[in-house]
Every structure is written in structure tokens, then in C-alpha cells.
Amino acid sequence: MFVFDTIKHRLKRGCETMAYPKGPPPPLPDRHGGALRVDGAKCPVGCNECVPVCPTQAIAHPAGRGIALDLGRCLFCAACVEACPHGAITQTGDHRMAARRREDLVLGEPGAETVRLAAALDGKLRRLFGRSLRLRVVSAGGCGAAEADLNVLGTVGWDIGRFGIQFVASPRHADGLVITGPVSQSMELALRKTWEAMPEPKIVIAVGACAISGGPFAGNPEVMNGAEAVVPVDLFIPGWPPHPLTILDGLLRLLGRVEGTRFPAQDHEPRN
């Protein structure tokens, strides 16, 4: 009788896994704000209101040049959005912000107001990993925030396994390496050995500002300022920590499951 009650209960609840990417993504929390947009044309020469408020020096305004905001260093605290008197920096509410190249995370130049979203792996790697991607996670000095959002992807609401993506315990069983944390000095050797233990071909994914640039710990002598100082990185997923939807979108773009390299202008209204 208990078995029939359980089946009846499950049928009544229906499917609780989100439809994304076939259906619309769930909305981000209001306080998240999503990816930033930087319109350098709105920023007059000599205005530096946003520069000193950034806790990680992610914003620069070189003399005679427009503003430059590095999403790889950004903590998404929105202090720059509030400080900018000209509306040059806005929140888009968009979860999409993963990029293949580090320089694609730097915003502000004409044509680079938003993130150049990640392109898919080449055809050979897509054929290898497109239906079955095994990932080994290394927390290289992380605080647990990015790791927690990676864990969310395994819950029933997200079910990352339906895409053939799975986290594994051994680097020898892995196709890719997911790195969180700023890569502390004490984790450098462990990270390098994990990378070397993985069979070729292999990919590396840096998740969060810490893994991309060192985040708030950048410049500290005890950290390596991100994963690229130790291993080559194939995908950068910004955030502090990244929302699970941002991580999932980045992984699916890498596998060619989601297309588009720019934010469609009509998708999201900027938040001031």
C-alpha cells in the first residue's frame, strides 16, 4: 500500500525539473541583478565616481579612454551601479555570462558593452563530450559558496545528469576539471597533480570570481590569483558565487546545447 501511495504522490506533484533550456529559465532573485552592461559612451572623460567604490579594483578609467569593467574580478555588489551618476553601468537581469576567453569578460569598449558569450567546443570535442561529460571538482581554497551552487545542479529541480553531465570522484575518470576558489599556495600542487592525472583530451572550467582572478583575495601572497596561473582554462563563469543557472548555461554553451554569442537587445531591460 505504501508503494502505491508513493507513486500517487509523485504523479500528483508532476515533473519538478525545470524545462530550461527548452523552456524559459527561472527568474533570478531581484537582488542578484544578473550580468552587467557597460555603455562607455555615457561615461564622460574625467568621471571616476565608480572606480573607488569597487572592492576588487574591477573597474578602470584610464586617462583619455573609456571605462573598463572586468566581470572576472567583479563581485556583483552593484556598488558601481549605484555610484554611477550617468547610468553607464546597469544590471541586465540576465543569467548568461560565461565566456571562453578571459578578455571577453572585460566590458566598456564599443562593441563590448556586454559579455561575449561562450562559443561551443570544436566539433571533435563536442562529439566526445556532447553526450557524456564527466567533471572533477577541485575546491582550491574556496569558501564553499561556488561549491554549494555546483551541488544545486544535482538536485531534482536542475538534474544536470539529464544532459549527460556528471561530477566524479577521480580525475582519472574525468573529462574536465572544475575549479573553485582563488587557488591557495597550499592547493597549487594538488591542483596541478589533478590536472596531470586526467586523460587527454581534457577541459578546464573556472567557476566564480575567485577561480578566475582571485576575487577579493587577489594580490594576497597566499593565493595564485586564479586557476590560469596553474592550468589552461577553457571556460570562465563569473559570479561571486555564480548562480546555478549561470553555471548550467555556461556548460551547455560549451557543449553546443545553447547558441548565441550576444545578449539579444529585447531580452532584458536594464536595471538602474
> Which residue ranges make up each domain of the chain?
123-254
Contacts of 223 (CB under 8 A, 6+ apart): 141, 182, 183, 184, 185, 214, 217
Whether residue 22 is predicted with pLDDT greater than 50 in this model: the reply is yes
pLDDT of residue 66: 74
Angle of helix 145-152 relative to helix 244-254, nearest 10 degrees, comes to 70
Whether residue 266 is predicted with pLDDT greater than 70 in this model: the reply is no
Whether residue 262 is predicted with pLDDT greater than 50 in this model: the reply is no
pTM equals 0.90
For residue 9, give the C-alpha cell: 504522490
Cβ(117)–Cβ(260) under 8 Å? yes
Whether residue 54 is predicted with pLDDT greater than 60 in this model: the reply is yes
Whether residue 237 is predicted with pLDDT greater than 90 in this model: the reply is yes
Whether residue 97 is predicted with pLDDT greater than 80 in this model: the reply is yes
Whether residue 198 is predicted with pLDDT greater than 70 in this model: the reply is yes
Cβ(206)–Cβ(246) under 8 Å? no
pLDDT of residue 2: 66
Question: Peptide bond before 241: cis, by omega within 30 degrees of 0?
Answer: yes
Q: Say which amino acid occupies 77.
A: C
Whether residue 110 is predicted with pLDDT greater than 80 in this model: the reply is yes
> CA-CA distance, 245 to 251, in Å (whole number)?
10
> CA-CA distance, 176 to 234, in Å (whole number)?
10
pLDDT of residue 63: 66
pLDDT of residue 19: 87
pLDDT band, residue 263 (cuts 50/70/90): very low
Closest by alpha carbon to 113, among 125, 102, 104? 104
Whether residue 265 is predicted with pLDDT greater than 60 in this model: the reply is no
Beta-bridge partners for 205: 178, 235
The average confidence (pLDDT) of the chain is 90
Q: Residue holding cell 506533484?
A: 13
pLDDT of residue 211: 98
pLDDT of residue 270: 52
Contacts of 19 (CB under 8 A, 6+ apart): none
Whether residue 177 is predicted with pLDDT greater than 90 in this model: the reply is yes
What's the mean pLDDT in 186-190?
97
Give the rounded percent of residues in the chain with a pLDDT score beyond 90: 73
3-state secondary structure (DSSP) of residue 266: coil
DSSP-assigned letters across all residues of 86-151: T--EEE-------BSSGGGGEE-STT-SS--PPPPPPHHHHHHHSS-EEEEEEESS--SHHHHHHH
pLDDT of residue 10: 67
Topology of the domain covering 123-254:
Rossmann fold (3.40.50)
Pairing of strands 59-60, 106-107: unpaired
What's the mean pLDDT in 231-248?
97
> CA-CA distance, 227 to 53, in Å (whole number)?
26
Whether residue 252 is predicted with pLDDT greater than 80 in this model: the reply is yes
pLDDT of residue 23: 84
pLDDT of residue 1: 60
What's the mean pLDDT in 87-112?
94
